[in-house]
Amino acid sequence: MGKRADCVLVAEGIVFVIEFKVGSSAFDRHAIEQVYDYALDLKNFHEGSHSATIVPVLIATNADKVDFKLELGADGVASPICIGRSGLDDLVAQAAGKPRERSVSSPNWEASGYKPTPTIIEAAQALYKSHDVAEISRSDASAKNLRATSDRIAEIIETSKRDGKKSICFVTGVPGAGKTLAGLNIAASRAERYENENAVFLSGNGPLVTVLREALARDKVEQGKVSGEKISKKDAEREVSLFVQNIHHFRDHYLNDPGEPFEHVVVFDEAQRAWTTDQASKFMQAKRGLADFDQSEPEFLIGVMDRHSEWCTIVCLIGGGQEINTGEAGLGEWLRAVENRFSDWEVHASTLLEDPHYTVSQDAVELLRSPKITKHEDLHLSVSMRSFRAERLSSFVSSVLDGDVSSASEDLASLGDRYPILLTRDLASAKNWLNGRARGSERTGLVASSGAHRLRPEGIHIKSAIDPKSWFLNDSQDVRSSYYLEDVATEFDIQGLELDWAGMCWDADLRMVDGSWQFNAFKGSKWQSVKSPTRQMYLLNAYRVLLTRARQGMIIFIPNGDPKDPTRPPAFYDQTYDFLRGCGIPELK
């Protein structure tokens, strides 16, 4: 991932990861965290290190002799050891006497593969530096279709370019499978190799765009410091804004500019969340003063690209069960626009597009049966890469939200100890668990539904908006960061982004009642039943987003309620807790 430890020493069958601070007499927090991260990265992503004992070592060459105590974690990764110029031989001898799962041989360790699963922020930074997607993603057989998907999209673009055609392709994927990564890869690789294509990644997800841009800009400034090039933050922000853009800014630009667009390749992330005709018309009338706007967002966006006199390609990334807001069009609007206005466009679609998780409207299913649509198996991403320890997490979450105890229990059993999921009714205990699990710079945070209004007595204020840049990017010393476990992110804040360890806070807006989910919204001073099937779907999808944000594990907090408070009696929570426990989720002891 573009970072490199100073030295790896394999001795006595143990892996020592060594970071030197030459000329330093102090052991600062950042340096300790850095070497810990190296050790954890090897444990998680380097085959030769999976069952190895790994000891992170920080050496400050001007430090006096330092006493240390070697403590191994349950996975064989030791807490960081800080020593001065001397002490390494004592450490090796002490480590050699510790019981361990397996000894490592140097040649085998060095020859084994490195298969990282980066966060979306790390992936964006690597792709922006012109790394290939194969360098930054797992290469095991179960995850190879990320590369196959990228290759298929590239082939569609090249064919369109060669034949002077206009094309649109629909890519599907389970939560965390790498849809955004595939989209960023297309935008980055095309922009690097073919300057005249001006490929761009577009998203209507404001927090995702904000966080990615900020991360790329910060990284560019830091890289400039390393290379001796002075790059201002504003210049860095200006440059990265050409790579990642807000879809609404793109739309507004071409509302005012009727000319041929600058971009030949555009990637729309979470394309199913584009607006319906009604939602787009209301917005244009109220916010842009356009009384006669009568197009859905998909129809307008395809129309912009259709202005090209030669070729262009649109890539639509479609998430399963990800519509979470009023006015989101789903797939149908894209297909209707192509069928009714842009019939000369070539359409390429994932073979899974007709699945109910991706296409909820029957008319869209009918449109997908058109012989003009070319289906491709490799336009579907089936394996979750976010949860590198639990590929069946999305299946487990779907079973829970389907109310299927048997399937949920089976899916959870398949996760084993690789991906811990726990239940608690005490928020302080949940926070302690998160703090105890996270090591190095592994990110923790609390998440809750945007409808979780009655978590407020527990100290969880969903109406208090987070600052996405600070929450997702700042370190554990910043009170605005997710690490502090004070500010909570809702589904709108965190969709498309992720944490290592999540505290999922469950309120009475989605509650189990006699074996079925009951849907509620808090209005004024009381809960009201949600009758609309569409709004019920949005609420289920909100919880689907929240339950699939953690890469390494999560704890679910469900309050006890208060018999004196009619807005949160214990009955609103108890059946939900019992249902999840019945799905096999153990209680925190």
SS3 state of residue 46: strand
What does the angle CA 339 – CA 289 – CA 276 come to, to the nearest 5 degrees? Answer: 30
Q: For position 45, what pLDDT does the model report? A: 86
120-381 and 388-583, same CATH topology: yes
Amino acid (one-letter) located at 425: R
pTM of the model as a whole: 0.84
- The position carrying tokens 């070539």 is 346
Question: How far is it, in rounded angstroms, from Cα 267 to Cα 258?
Answer: 20
Per-residue pLDDT in tens (0 to 9) along the chain, 589 residues: 567 899 999 999 999 999 999 999 999 999 999 999 999 999 988 989 998 999 999 999 999 878 888 999 989 999 999 999 888 999 999 998 888 778 888 888 988 888 777 788 888 888 887 666 666 555 444 455 678 888 899 999 999 999 999 999 999 887 667 788 888 888 888 877 777 888 899 998 889 999 999 998 998 898 888 888 999 999 999 888 878 999 888 999 999 999 999 899 999 998 888 888 898 899 898 888 888 899 999 999 999 999 999 999 999 998 766 666 766 666 788 999 999 999 999 999 999 888 776 765 777 788 888 888 999 999 998 766 666 666 678 889 999 999 999 999 999 999 888 899 999 999 999 999 999 999 999 999 999 999 999 999 999 999 999 999 999 999 999 999 999 999 999 999 998 899 999 999 999 999 999 999 999 999 999 999 999 998 999 899 999 999 999 999 999 999 999 999 999 999 999 999 999 999 999 999 9
Topology of the domain covering 120-381: Rossmann fold (3.40.50)
- Is there a contact between 146 and 385 (Cβ–Cβ < 8 Å)? yes
Which token pair is 435? 């703090």
Q: For position 144, what pLDDT does the model report? A: 57
- Is there a contact between 545 and 324 (Cβ–Cβ < 8 Å)? yes
- The position carrying tokens 């300790």 is 32
The ranges assigned to domains in the chain are 7-111, 120-381, 388-583
Which token pair is 81? 């050891």
Q: How far is CA 216 from CA 182, 244, 386, 499, in A?
A: 17, 10, 20, 18
SS3 state of residue 219: helix
- The position carrying tokens 């466009």 is 345
- Looking at domain 388-583, its CATH architecture is 3-Layer(aba) Sandwich (3.40)
Which stretches within 269-422 are classed as H helix? Answer: 277-287, 297-305, 332-341, 362-368, 393-401, 405-415
Q: For position 175, what pLDDT does the model report? A: 67
Euclidean distance between the first and final Cα of the chain, in Å? 37
- Is there a contact between 157 and 28 (Cβ–Cβ < 8 Å)? no
SS3 state of residue 472: helix
- The position carrying tokens 């926070």 is 431
Alpha-carbon torsion, ordered 390, 394, 396, 401, to 10 deg? 160
Question: How far is it, in rounded angstroms, from Cα 244 to Cα 185?
Answer: 12
- Which positions ≥6 away from 404 have C-beta within 8 Å? none
Specify the length of the chain in residues: 589
- Which positions ≥6 away from 422 have C-beta within 8 Å? 433, 554, 555, 556, 585, 586, 587, 588
Q: How far is CA 262 from CA 98, 198, 250, 441, in A?
A: 62, 7, 11, 40
Q: For position 11, what pLDDT does the model report? A: 92
- Which positions ≥6 away from 146 have C-beta within 8 Å? 133, 137, 138, 177, 178, 181, 182, 381, 385
